[in-house]
Amino acid sequence: MLRRPAGYLLDVAAEAVDAERFTALAARAETTPDPRERADLLTEALELWRGPAFADFADEAFTAPADPRSPGSAATARSPDSAASPGKAPGLPVPPTELIGRDEAIRHIARLLSTSRLVTLTGVGGVGKTRRALAEFAAVGDRWGVAAATCEPAEPALIRGDIAGLRRDARRALALFAESGDRWGRLRALELLAQADEIGGDYAAAGGHRREGLRLAEELRLPAEASFMLAGLGRVALLTGDLERAEELHERARRLGAEQGVKQAEQHAELGLALIARRRGDLEGAEAHLRAWLEWDRSRDGGAGLALIYAELGFIAEMRGDAAAEDFHRRSLDAARATGDPRAVALALEGLAGVAALTGDRSRAAALLEEAAALRASTGAPLPKAERFDVDRITQALAGRDAP
């Protein structure tokens, strides 16, 4: 049990938490080729469950066991003639798994769609809203609807570190939006695809997607979206070493976000300016940019933004030799774990490695860097060379300490 300014934290290893063990076992099962071993892993995962599944949704039809003999069973859902089958609209993406146990819900949605221009699906995350919408759109051959529903899983894929899933969904959505002539949809899919390319280190592709996105945003007179695209282009300039161009683009993005009163866009751009300042060695300037948004993010339970601010403040403190670095990086780690983004967690671990190197704990620093690298590799996106500024700096510090 650790004391934190906001209260207390139960700091335990991930393997001591059933939810984390369940996720790890399920992930292992997904990549295990042997059916028996896969079944054993899934059985072990399910044995960790406490209480009935979907207890809060006991009255919903989708939680009831499917009867394979009934017309609305899973067998029907797998049929090419099923209302949930995407086979009625050739060329549409086929989901990796069948939508099972939602037949009545899909029929109900179809009835609503026949009499209403707008139908909204509500519910907590993970109950199948997007999959239901995708099934409905595919069943009637609505390619724009399929594109919109395909975009929805892309952002959660980014957060959980599924970069391959992000790229796949963004490409599918982009092709379908382009086919339908929807410039707004293309704009959204282009930014998602640019993020996947940037994470993979393909900065030429990321820049191309964002230039096209900026053109569309300006055509559509969407200044907030233009601000995000400008900041994204500034990020590409930073990663390719053009700091002057990076600063110019981020400053344009910041001004545009401020003029429109879009705080998220303004913050996104100013955090980029902080990264540029630190890369130049201007630690005071970087800290000023970061602290300008710290309280705003705290008040909004800022998640990824807060994790990044704490991490950057930690790196600044560590580069100054300030012992406050560890507290900042631990706060970053807490915020990153709350988002579920393995890449954000890896950044916090890299920061703690810098703290360990600063205090002379070489073995701990090396172990933390190794753990961070494994997390990044688990997403299919190891840290590209252009983003290794801190990792290389910390690694060199360790080598220097090891030298006679």
C-alpha–C-alpha distance, residues 215 and 294, integer Å: 32
Residues ≥6 apart with Cβ < 8 Å to 375? 161, 342, 343, 345, 346, 349
Same domain for 231 and 275, yes or no, is yes
Average of per-residue pLDDT values in the chain: 82
Amino acid at 75: A
Q: Could you tell me if residue 206 is inside a domain?
A: no
Q: Could you tell me if residue 78 is inside a domain?
A: no
Q: Could you tell me if residue 147 is inside a domain?
A: no
**Chain segment 246-298, per-residue pLDDT in tens:** 999 999 999 999 999 999 999 999 999 999 999 999 999 999 999 999 999 98
Same domain for 303 and 391, yes or no, is yes
Q: Could you tell me if residue 166 is inside a domain?
A: no
**Residue 260 is inside which H or E element, if any?**
helix 243-260
Q: Are 257 and 287 contacting, i.e. CB atoms less than 8 angstroms apart?
A: no
Strands (E), 44-140: none
**Residue 4 is inside which H or E element, if any?**
strand 2-4
Residue 308 reports pLDDT greater than 50: yes
Q: pTM here?
A: 0.70
Which of 12-17's residues contact partners 24+ apart within 8 Å by CB, and which partners? none
Same domain for 309 and 396, yes or no, is yes
Amino acid at 395: T
Q: Could you tell me if residue 103 is inside a domain?
A: no
CA distances from 147 to 28, 160, 245 (A): 30, 21, 34
Residue 89 reports pLDDT greater than 50: no
Residue 303 reports pLDDT greater than 50: yes
Task: Please state the domain count of the chain.
Answer: 3
The dihedral through the CA atoms of 220, 182, 159, 51 has a sign that is positive
Which residues constitute the domain of residue 238? 223-280
Same domain for 303 and 348, yes or no, is yes
**Chain segment 220-234, per-residue pLDDT in tens:** 999 999 999 999 999
Lowest mean pLDDT among 17-21, 160-164, 261-265, 279-283: 17-21
